[in-house]
A and B are shown apart, each in its own frame.
Chain A
Amino acid sequence: MPMDNQDDMPSRPPFWNDPDKRALIFQVLVLAAVFAFFAYIFSNTLHNLEKRGISTGFDFLNNEAGFGILMSLIPYDETYTFGRTFLVGLLNTILVSFLGIILATIIGFIIGIARLSNNWLVAKIAAVYIETFRNIPLLLQILFWYFAMLPLLPHPRQSVNFGDAFFLNSRGFYMPAPVFESPFLWVLAAMIIAIIAVVVLVRWAHKRQAQTGQQFHTIWVSLAILVVLPLIAYIATGMPLSWNLPELKGFNFRGGMTIIPELAALLLALSIYTAAFIAEIVRSGIQAVSHGQTEAAYSLGLRPGKTLQLVVIPQAMRVIIPQLTSQYLNLTKNSSLAAAVGYPDLVAVFAGTTLNQTGQAVEIIFMTMMVYLTISLLISLFMNWYNKKMALVER
């Protein structure tokens, strides 16, 4: 039978039979349905809110707040607006997340490497740490640190006194606050110049070592530059730095800087909890590096410490970094448990007090969710960039 049917068949089927076009039509329809769904939800919510007489809109952000906040990195009192309370809460969240991430990483790496130690006791202590702090719910840990720590600290009138400048009591740890006069800008400029100089120095020393094999006392020289340069600027401009010492006036200390017990408890609990997870991640990363690498390094005469630092960990980072990203995001979101101990983070101040005083739950929760989403996306972006930098380039 001659195969001439093919000449009678059209080159492309009609569009309702064409798989590509069908796929396209379906995708367009689904997208339209999703948009329509969200548009409907939005307008329905708005309609229902108005019908019940509940105020809508973001105008409330310009109204006076009327309440005080325990700790604020920017100037704040009750005459500022609700929008300001949003900023205060946001900065407090960023503060505790940032410090928590740094602390958790340091502790986590130490514990993770300790877990792999050949020393039986060290390995077991690390294992106990990991198992304990991984398995207790974070909220309980936060409450534990807060309510276990508070009774141990003395009343302000009987504070622990370190040289009349540092005080420790149940209201916080008080430190002298630096007061910068305007010539201090020169010192700041000197610091920036010193940092740039150090970066350039490190690059140059690396290049020299790669080319000639000569080592350079990079650490000592960098330290010297970082200390001496700003010091010269400081002395040259007449020491423009004074200290605001905390003083006991009436009930509490005034002046100076404070670390409130809420921040300390939250930071401790968050760091210790997340460090337990990071320790396991570090351990898995290190064990993922082929043992052949370690053996080869040893056979070259590298000591175990140097092997770990120069050979194993850089390769382990490929495995560690994506999981670290998740842990950092977890830590940031877990910081919202601050409301349990009265630390004024975003959720406690904005999605808590402001929400209750204005009653505009939908707008406020939406804003809070957007903030956490943005912070998380930023952290992911940064870690992905770092990950790409660390990736092995294969031939």
Chain B
Amino acid sequence: MNHKLLVSATALVAAMTFSAASHAGATLDAVKEKGHVQCGVTTGLAGFSQSNDKGEWTGIDVDMCRAVAAAVFGDAKKVKFTPLTAKERFTALQSGEIDMLSRNTTWTLTRDTNLGLNFAGVNYYDGQGFLVSKNLGVKSATELDGAAVCIQAGTTTELNLADYFRRHGMKYTPITFDRSEETIKAFEAGRCDVLTSDQSQLYALRIQLAKPDSAMVLPEVVSKEPLGPVVRNGDEDWFKIVRWSLNAMLNAEELGITSANIDDLKGSSTDPNVRRLIGLEGIKGQGLGLADDWAYNIVKQVGNYSEVFERNVGKGSALGIARGLNALWTDGGIQYAAPIR
């Protein structure tokens, strides 16, 4: 009797001690050990993260994760995706279920400070807009007093909507759903007059309508929505890898390096900037703790920022969104990445 008690007491104490040890800054090690990056994405949003019927994921956020995988493993395919609703995305990241969240998440002060998370950059500058049915005869968002508005729960969209209508002294009725697919279904069924979300999402949702031309996006952009990848606090190495993966893609576009010409440039280019990005000279992968060809792999396997943008949300896709704010600073937009040197 005494013996059993002693053994169980010791086991309890031992269990306590081991589980009390928490892991700080160990995401990179865990990822390398796992052999893949666990990436949190949406449950299905055209252009950003969507899986086809074969289970293959595409989208600008998906490519962000692939870029990180290419940097860490040299293989952009070493990613596994976890679909998350807007309500569960932060808890999944905080708890360690995913390594990074690439789910068109807006960078705000509250999220940066209250949740124990870090925003590693902005891969899409967006703004909130309104989608209305053309037969409502509305030409501007200021005519929406008293409207019923469909929104996705747990997003900055809800807050911005409240602010906008309050500022203009208008009333509205919010109809909140968990998933963006449900919002567009309710919009089509006539439950609400207006659908509000980030403009990129509006274009993506509009193509799901039976008659996409029956709805129009109103011209007003009522908020700033810088969307980007998110990682946990306290993980400096991992944070820097994600940040510089994005910067590599932007710098590649600036230098005119594409996935098609990178091999030629590797052999023939004498531009020191190009050579530094490809990993032939300069700091290479040393600072990040990665292989020397980390940026080369990103551009070769995923593409530069322009390729990623055009193929997912731009001219090469069903959404057809113009570069706008997301063009490089040299082309009239605000995408400006720190140099690789």
* A interface with B by C-beta (< 8 Å): 22, 29, 33, 40, 44, 48-49, 51-55, 66-70, 78, 147, 150-151, 153, 155, 170-171, 249-252, 254, 261-262, 339-340, 342, 344, 348, 352-353, 355-361
Contacts and interface: CB of A to CB of B under 8 A. Distances in A.
Contacts of A249: 146
Given A44-B19, A53-B115, A67-B161, 20 more contacts: A51-B22, A51-B234, A54-B115, A66-B159, A69-B174, A70-B175, A150-B190, A151-B190, A153-B190, A251-B193, A252-B146, A254-B146, A340-B178, A342-B177, A344-B176, A353-B154, A355-B154, A356-B155, A358-B110, A359-B114
A48 B191 CA distance: 43
Given A66-B162, A250-B146, A251-B147, A352 B116 contact: no
A380 B154 CA distance: 34
B146 A251 contact: yes
A155 B192 CA distance: 10
Interface size class of B (residues with CB under 8 A): 35 or more
A51 B233 CA distance: 9
Contacts of A48: 22
Interface stretch (B66-74, B86-94, B247-255): B86-94
Contacts of B163: 66, 78
A195 to B, nearest CB: 37
Contacts of B146: 249-252, 254
A68 B161 contact: yes
A171 B5 CA distance: 65
Contacts of B136: 251
Contact of B148 (A22, A171, A357): A171
Contacts of A170: 189-191
A170 B173 CA distance: 13
Contacts of A353: 87, 153-154, 158, 176
B145 interface: yes
Contacts of B115: 53-55, 359
A323 to B, nearest CB: 33
B109 interface: no
Interface in B1-44: 1, 5, 12, 16, 19-20, 22, 24
Interface of B: 1, 5, 12, 16, 19-20, 22, 24, 86-87, 90-91, 94, 110-111, 113-116, 136, 144-148, 153-155, 158-159, 161-163, 166, 172-178, 182, 185-186, 189-191, 193, 232-234
A52 B16 contact: no
A341 to B, nearest CB: 8
Contacts of A55: 114-115
Given A52-B116, A151-B189, A170-B189, A356 B175 contact: no
B57 to A, nearest CB: 23
A87 to B, nearest CB: 17
A342 B12 contact: no
Given A54-B116, A342-B175, A261 B148 contact: no
Contacts of A49: 116
Contacts of B91: 361
B20 A78 contact: no
B173 A252 contact: yes
